[in-house]
Structure 1
């Protein structure tokens, strides 16, 4: 892992940002709130206008997670994990997406002789330009190997076939050249840690035609080379079967690592896979299907970068000595500037929190129930006050003697970060997302997604940036980031990786109601997956961002509107 110089932090957000109340284009439709949150930086070149929504009517059951766009037929493919299916929507009119049919994902005969379980769960979907689509399907017992199910995105929903991959295939993508599918097999443990499958990344060679590949097309990259002394510094390995007391793994690193999300470079040669709980990124050579490198994404020094650490102190964004937080990215995206690839991560945070083992405690738990106390240097003075509610890990931070915690480690960067492909941190949004949402929605700062409340997520990863998608508008490169908890989409201009610029924020949410009590009026809750539709592929001839919202079960379309600046 190369050394990590302190990145350039974005300028602290100030009240110079401007609020606008731009209403969606065209007539209002079901699922669109009357006054969506619209918040832009001065001189913003874009705004995001919600224009249409498809509603499942299912609350908090992951009824709309990952979404993909198939341009040739103007269809949206939406993963409905609640009902273990992928819904196909007609998006020719973005203001009124309508359901066509469901894709078949269960009962499919796979090339290895197995059959996709009746209780299997769809997790992700991707589609090639010619219509060859693929769904990542988790087995009914998530610790068993899962499948990739193939289909024709221009067809009527029948499966073309399936191949077997690793345990809990979580996210699948297709390389830009269309030759391979790449899937992160997360390999989560059983709730009691009786079983903990190895995390892997499967690379599947795709046929030239719209058809299902053979099982021999599947190769899987594992992490055995990183066991023991091969493990890079900064990669978190804890909470496996040894810690749970359920066994002594032969390959503890491989069992603990849980691949989460995949980005592929423009040349279709290399995949970059987030290892969220382990706080790292794996580099996968796609030609050989091997993991060639693993590097840590590092931590955020909270004595320098502020956060709101308590859900009981109002909006109190401040610094704390002896506190760091793991970035733990969920989604990752790759883009090029002057021939060089950069990676953007959504630094959500995550914990190992299972019945068999949980690392999660609050600062106030230190010194109680067998947990070691904070060292005097940490617990003394004002530097420790205000932290009692924050969720931290018990797995990291002990002093050399193992008698007390000399550094406290929390979860999530609450930011986006830009990295080089060898792990050098180029820039980070720092505390900007928390300051942005405080300015945009002060009465519901750090709200949860299921209920509207003030400051109830500050102790636990804040706004939780989760999904990212990248697209070009007007010759500039933008990253669009979904905030899982408070909701909405933030756009950054990342054309200069060292100087990302906040552009705009839009949230199609009605905070006057809670989704748990009035789902129909709540708008979008819990954005999970995002996809960018370029203007050449868009049914309107204008760029779009489509968002799957797992808590509200809605799929919403945002128009990416260019703002014309006045000429003098």
Structure 2
């Protein structure tokens, strides 16, 4: 009888929409998963032809999953939406006859509201500084499978980089990145966030749009809030008029129309559990915009807050390009976390934000925010001769000298976090600041702000060395595509790089010269951003709250139990592509042993949404054009009276009535 009650209790609880904010009550019983293993993988075409299979074409740039129909979707950089049948978890199959062709549009994201039978697809304009749009399509229905059809589209801002519905799909948030282009001068649109509202997405004409702008802040206010500005107005004046690149850059137009918001680039989104708060990640700014979203009416900007710097005075880091795991501390060296993905969770009624601290930078023409340490500060601690009229603080000079003992090739920022440009004629280097937090962080949302709760420290580099030293701070990306292959013929700008990479190693994994396997690129990213985790998702498995993240260029996946939000526990470290130790991506792709490379997209599936009935994670590899399903196994447990009591307390009145009636019928 107790088992029956528990079963009915679980069936009566309606799961949140897939992708909703997971929550955890630590007073309830829970246990950590006992294993995490891959169930299946599929190779996805980059266009509408089933034979269009190639590494490096971005065939799985972003992914989504319809848990009701058990179809997955992948959007490619080539403007195509592919459909994958995941009804059999162990044998997914691409359905090329159901593919949808966007005719070369730059697709950025895909989300699904399964119960409303709609797909949302973000798309940038052909000129990325122009307004993009969000397409609305129908989902594929298993009862009568047919390709998605267009319902309509919504006008977004420049480069809508991410879209995300709230828990009941009555609101759709859009992060308009507003990424700049440099062509005969700098064109830099302001970033913004939009929230579309509708109770019926099939009627596009009745959709209401709210736009939240970030132009209420000045440069100085943002800097005071810890927000990083790659190219503030004063910095623009210096580099445009007084620097060694002044003769080759032209920022005149950008200066004339400048606002602090042009520095802000929204990239990722997360909703709070009650849908009242939207978190907007500003990756290149090392900051998050917090937006208040009332149930009705206009959303409003609460605050833009910086995410703080990571200090390697006490946290070990590997900066040496010596093909070894050489972690050490460096007094005064800091880094910008610069997260890519973010994920909100609730623990004991409090909201937390998880960040995957990848690292990123910007460049415009001959001006680049990212520079080698040796090109900014000499080994004696003085500014390089090209840093015209710049001065340096004693603390920054000391930090630079400490780093010089390990490497002079560390990439550092010349943005506002490192250099004070308040006097454009004589900027001051105040800090030595690298790119990327080389791990994940957890922030508590309280009082309209974010405060750091926990950071993974040096665990990513240390654990990658312990489990997969051949992948430590290595690199595999689209530049490793087979020379004269599909990517070579479609992108003239990358041909020279491909030809160079194709001759890097004597044995690419097939006994022939070619691009290097991952196992022969150890430390290639140590002077840059290290592990560079880019995706992070969270959800429930075995009652525990888990966070899953993966590194961009090494394909290492980390699983943390974050049920104790103040002190997470690392459970699993796996590699998505073990064959990459000895095979370059072209060779591994050809023999179908290649796993997810550039795992930019992940979906956490709790047991109620999983195709197998067990909690798991779907992982999409953008460059590999693959998608895999990984599953958690739970330790064997028995149902207790306390379990039933907890389940009973969660039931609505009508559910409890049903249980009572069933009990009497069985008596």
Q: Unpaired segments of 5 or more residues in structure 1?
A: 1-42, 107-117
Asked if residue 449 in structure 1 is aligned to residue 476 in structure 2, the reply is: yes
Which residue of the partner structure matches residue 461 of structure 2? 434
Q: Distance in 2 between matches of 1:383 and 1:363?
A: 9
CA shift, 1:518, in A, is 3.7
Q: Distance in 1 between matches of 2:124 and 2:427?
A: 42
Asked if residue 503 in structure 1 is aligned to residue 574 in structure 2, the reply is: no
Under a length normalisation based on structure 2, what TM-score does the superposition of the two structures give? Answer: 0.73
Q: For residues 45-67 of structure 1, what are the alpha-carbon distances to aligned partners after superposition, in whole Å with 9 as ceiling and x for unaligned?
A: 34321121111332223221221
Greater displacement, 246-255 / 292-301: 246-255
Which residue of the partner structure matches residue 318 of structure 1? 328
Asked if residue 45 in structure 1 is aligned to residue 30 in structure 2, the reply is: no
Contact persistence 1:239–1:358 (CA under 8 A): no
Q: Distance in 2 between matches of 1:349 and 1:438?
A: 20
Match of 1:370 among 380, 383, 386: 386
Q: For residues 385-440 of structure 1, what are the alpha-carbon distances to aligned partners after superposition, in whole Å with 9 as ceiling and x for unaligned?
A: 11312110122424798566342010111111110122100001011011110001
- Residue-pair matches, total: 511
Which residue of the partner structure matches residue 663 of structure 2? none
C-alpha change, 1:266 and 1:311, in structure 2 (3 Å) is: same
Q: SS in structure 2 opposite 1:281?
A: strand
Q: Distance in 1 between matches of 2:269 and 2:320?
A: 32
Contact persistence 1:489–1:505 (CA under 8 A): yes
Under a length normalisation based on structure 1, what TM-score does the superposition of the two structures give? Answer: 0.85
Which residue of the partner structure matches residue 110 of structure 2? 125
Contact persistence 2:230–2:361 (CA under 8 A): no
CA shift, 1:523, in A, is 2.3
CA shift, 1:215, in A, is 6.9
Match of 2:84 among 89, 112, 119: 89
Asked if residue 392 in structure 1 is aligned to residue 402 in structure 2, the reply is: no
Which residue of the partner structure matches residue 540 of structure 1? 612
Q: Distance in 2 between matches of 1:301 and 1:526?
A: 27
CA shift, 1:546, in A, is 0.4
Q: Distance in 2 between matches of 1:215 and 1:415?
A: 43
Contact persistence 1:236–1:278 (CA under 8 A): yes
C-alpha change, 1:382 and 1:123, in structure 2 (3 Å) is: closer
Q: SS in structure 2 opposite 1:350?
A: coil
CA shift, 1:251, in A, is 4.5
Q: Which has the larger radius of gyration?
A: 2
Q: Distance in 2 between matches of 1:264 and 1:546?
A: 20
Contact persistence 2:230–2:284 (CA under 8 A): no
CA shift, 1:216, in A, is 5.2
Q: Distance in 2 between matches of 1:387 and 1:417?
A: 27
Asked if residue 412 in structure 1 is aligned to residue 457 in structure 2, the reply is: no
Which residue of the partner structure matches residue 140 of structure 1? 126
Which residue of the partner structure matches residue 76 of structure 1? 72
- The structure where helix makes up a greater share of residues is 2
Structural mapping, 1:256-271, within 5 Å: 256-271=263-278
Q: SS in structure 2 opposite 1:437?
A: helix
C-alpha change, 1:163 and 1:404, in structure 2 (3 Å) is: closer
Q: SS in structure 2 opposite 1:173?
A: strand
Contact persistence 2:324–2:523 (CA under 8 A): yes
Which residue of the partner structure matches residue 622 of structure 2? 550
Contact persistence 1:398–1:406 (CA under 8 A): yes
Which residue of the partner structure matches residue 340 of structure 1? 350
Q: For residues 86-125 of structure 1, what are the alpha-carbon distances to aligned partners after superposition, in whole Å with 9 as ceiling and x for unaligned?
A: 211111112222122455463xxxxxxxxxxx44211101
Asked if residue 283 in structure 1 is aligned to residue 283 in structure 2, the reply is: no
Q: Distance in 1 between matches of 2:58 and 2:451?
A: 34
Which residue of the partner structure matches residue 234 of structure 1? 226
Q: Distance in 2 between matches of 1:97 and 1:191?
A: 43
Which residue of the partner structure matches residue 194 of structure 1? 186
